[in-house]
Amino acid sequence: MTNHSVRLREVGPRDGLQNEKKWVETKDKINWINQLSETGLSYIELTSFVHPKWIPALSDASEVVKGVKKNINVIFGALVPNPHDTRGTALANVFAAYRLGIRAFDGSAAGLGGCPYAPGASGNVATEDLIYLLEGLGAKTGVELNKLLECAKWIQRKLGRDLPSHHLQLAMAQDHKEGFDDENTTY
pLDDT in tens, 80-93: 447 767 678 889 88
pLDDT score, position 151: 96
Residue 154, domain CATH: 3.20.20.70
Is 159 contained in some domain?
Answer: yes
Is 57 contained in some domain?
Answer: yes
Q: What residues are labeled active site? A: 115
User: Using an 8 Å Cβ cutoff, are 152 and 109 in contact?
Assistant: yes
Burial of 120 (0-12, 13-18, 19+ CB in 10 A): exposed
C-alpha 79/C-alpha 11 separation (Å) is 9
Number of domains in the chain: 1
pLDDT tens digit sequence for 58-109: 999 889 988 999 999 999 987 644 776 767 888 988 898 788 676 888 899 9
Is 2 contained in some domain?
Answer: no
Is 168 contained in some domain?
Answer: yes
Q: What is the pTM of this model?
A: 0.73
With a CB cutoff of 8 Å and minimum separation 6, the contacts of 142 are 5, 40, 42
Q: Please give the biggest Cα pair distance in the chain.
A: 54
Residues in the chain where the model's pLDDT stays below 50: 80-81, 185-187
The residue range of the domain holding 53 is 7-180
Is 160 contained in some domain?
Answer: yes
Is 105 contained in some domain?
Answer: yes
Is 18 contained in some domain?
Answer: yes
Is 186 contained in some domain?
Answer: no
